[in-house]
């Protein structure tokens, strides 16, 4: 739903895995089904006849589509090897194999750049040896634990393989590329699986390597994909210095935390000077109890202070608030009033227990659905205090604040000059998104999605208070040696 209205991001993970496969000596082609169709995919594999097909499962809601694509691929190319990987796929590997019914030869858990080369070699030389590849889960069982790439400086994304680069945008940044400055997160928010994927590891790219990457990016807008940008002041300032020396000028969008923003004020002042225009802050809650429940390890007063500081810099800020299924009408109304009072873009997401998060294991309330497609932080998969139809009406009413303030005709008048400039450049992603909100965000559509026939179900996970948090890790914590930096925040 987000990619219809707010953004459509460059598939950086696919480009990095493609770069690793190229480095291993293979012929590689890339198709992004965000911007191309299943017919385009069919024509590509029919004409090229690849020996190996890798599908990326970063978003849990896309798992059914991936399974169907795997089955479709096997029908067209029975001898091809089909692999699924990516962040979300790493947490539901066994279920994907079961639902694939033989069409999925393996799931590659963990960092795809590290595993793709050894897997391709095993498939080429001896398919029976794939179970020896780290990170592999196959019908025969699981191989060794996934390993991390030796250094995230080693690869530059294979951006040249994308055929429709002008289709990627993020709000006003149209077109917009993506870049990685660091990987992982040292915090341990209960609703998030970033830290469990990397075993709480945290690694940084070198400033010079980042500048080299930026020089290859032709788009004027750049989204920094880090889970939390600029955790370390020195690293952030080194990158800024490298950008200045290279004479680069871009418009940047990043995500960070309020406490990081306040601790590293100098960093954000410097970055405002070199092109930081937009920032996403995960405020998550407007009360201290919810912040503690989500284990944000941040205070409400600190978050509000961070907002004031960002405003003082002239940075455009977007905020996320998590709507809990337990909200009643009064809570929705209070949040909606606050959204109208602040100048920032406020997005409301729904608290969703994803596989790989602590809430997936410890949430006492039973899931009301196991449909992958509803795990998109816009549908509610837990019991609601309000009747579900009323919950969705209140949710959409609150989301409408975003539409009225930032995506309506009045908003278009405020950005009229920008819109005209984009039209002259034949960039229409942002402008088209202005009219899509009501067709995407409406209560009836949300309810209808619950009525769709269920084909593939997320496996049930009953409450298990005895599970250790380390059991959630995809990459073992001990594997974060060798270039990893673990700042020890929030322990």
pLDDT of residue 293: 80
pLDDT at 196 over 80: yes
Tokens 């997160």: give the residue. 185
Write out the two tokens for 377.
């932080």
- Would you kindly state where each structural domain of the chain is located, as residue ranges? 2-142, 168-477
The residue with greater pLDDT, 477 or 345, is: 345
Q: Kindly give the pairing relationship between strand 7-8 and strand 169-170.
A: antiparallel
pLDDT of residue 423: 65
Tokens 């816009």: give the residue. 378
For the segment 122-171, what is each residue's pLDDT rounded down to a tens digit? 999 998 889 999 999 999 999 999 999 999 999 999 999 999 999 999 98
Rounded Cα distance between 28 and 58, Å, is: 20
CA-closest candidate to residue 90, choices 57, 62, 68, 119: 57
Eight-class DSSP state of 294: H
The residue with greater pLDDT, 111 or 467, is: 111
Whether the CB-CB separation of 249 and 219 falls below 8 Å is answered with no
What rounded mean pLDDT belongs to the chain?
A: 88
| Superfamily of the domain at 168-477 | Aldolase class I (3.20.20.70)
pLDDT of residue 387: 97
pLDDT at 481 over 50: no
Please give the distance of CA 378 from its chain centroid, rounded to a whole number: 14
Is residue 487 helix, strand or coil?
coil
Q: Kindly give the pairing relationship between strand 316-323 and strand 276-284.
A: parallel
Q: To the nearest whole percent, how much of the chain has pLDDT over 90?
A: 68
Instruction: Identify each DSSP E strand in 29-80 by its residue range.
Output: 52-56
Rounded Cα distance between 351 and 214, Å, is: 35
| 177, β-bridge pairs | 222
Rounded Cα distance between 325 and 154, Å, is: 43
Rounded Cα distance between 354 and 185, Å, is: 17
Q: To the nearest whole percent, how much of the chain has pLDDT over 70?
A: 87
pLDDT at 482 over 50: no
Looking at domain 2-142, which CATH architecture does it have? Answer: 3-Layer(aba) Sandwich (3.40)
CA-closest candidate to residue 230, choices 270, 267, 194: 267
């Amino acid at each position: 739903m987000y990619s219809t209205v707010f953004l459509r991001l460059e598939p950086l993970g696919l480009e990095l895995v493609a770069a690793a496969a190229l480095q291993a000596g293979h012929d590689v082609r890339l198709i992004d089904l965000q911007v191309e169709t299943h017919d385009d995919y069919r024509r590509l594999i029919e004409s090229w006849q690849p020996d190996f097909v890798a599908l990326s499962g970063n978003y849990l809601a896309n798992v059914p589509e991936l399974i169907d694509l795997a089955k479709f691929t096997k029908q067209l190319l029975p001898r091809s090897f089909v692999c699924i990987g990516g962040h979300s796929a790493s947490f539901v590997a066994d279920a994907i194999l079961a639902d694939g019914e033989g069409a999925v030869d393996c799931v590659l858990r963990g960092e795809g750049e590290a595993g793709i080369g050894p897997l391709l070699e095993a498939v080429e030389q001896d398919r029976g040896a794939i179970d020896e590849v780290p990170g592999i889960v196959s019908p025969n069982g699981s191989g060794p634990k996934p390993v991390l790439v030796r250094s995230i400086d080693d690869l530059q994304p294979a951006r040249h393989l994308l055929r429709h680069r002008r289709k990627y945008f993020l709000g006003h940044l149209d077109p917009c590329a993506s870049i990685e400055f660091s990987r992982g997160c040292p915090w341990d928010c209960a609703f998030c699986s970033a830290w469990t994927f990397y075993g709480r590891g945290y690694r940084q790219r070198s400033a010079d390597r980042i500048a080299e990457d930026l020089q290859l990016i032709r788009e004027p807008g750049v989204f920094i994909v880090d889970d939390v940008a600029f955790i370390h002041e020195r690293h952030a300032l080194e990158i800024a210095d490298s950008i200045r020396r290279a004479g680069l000028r871009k418009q940047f969008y990043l995500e960070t935390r309020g406490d990081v923003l306040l601790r590293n004020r100098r960093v954000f002042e410097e970055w405002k000077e070199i092109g930081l225009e937009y920032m996403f802050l995960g405020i998550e809650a407007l009360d201290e109890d919810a912040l503690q429940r989500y284990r944000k390890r941040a205070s409400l007063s600190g978050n509000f202070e961070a907002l004031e500081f960002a405003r003082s810099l002239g940075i455009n800020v977007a905020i996320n608030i998590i709507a809990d299924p337990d909200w009643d009408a009064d809570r929705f109304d209070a949040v909606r009033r606050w959204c109208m009072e602040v100048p920032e873009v406020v997005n409301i997401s729904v608290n969703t227990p994803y596989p790989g998060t602590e809430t997936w294991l410890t949430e006492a309330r039973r899931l009301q659905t196991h449909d992958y497609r509803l795990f998109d932080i816009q549908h509610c998969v837990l019991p609601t205090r309000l009747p579900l139809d009323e919950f969705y009406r209140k949710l959409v009413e609150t989301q409408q604040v975003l539409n009225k303030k930032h995506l309506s005709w009045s908003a278009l008048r405020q950005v009229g000059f920008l819109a005209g400039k984009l039209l002259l450049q034949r960039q229409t992603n942002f402008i088209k998104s202005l009219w899509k909100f009501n067709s995407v965000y409406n209560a009836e559509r949300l309810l209808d999605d619950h009525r769709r026939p269920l084909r593939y179900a997320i496996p049930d996970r009953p409450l298990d208070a005895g599970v250790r948090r380390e059991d959630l890790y995809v990459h073992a914590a001990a594997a974060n040696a060798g270039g990893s930096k673990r700042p020890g925040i929030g322990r």
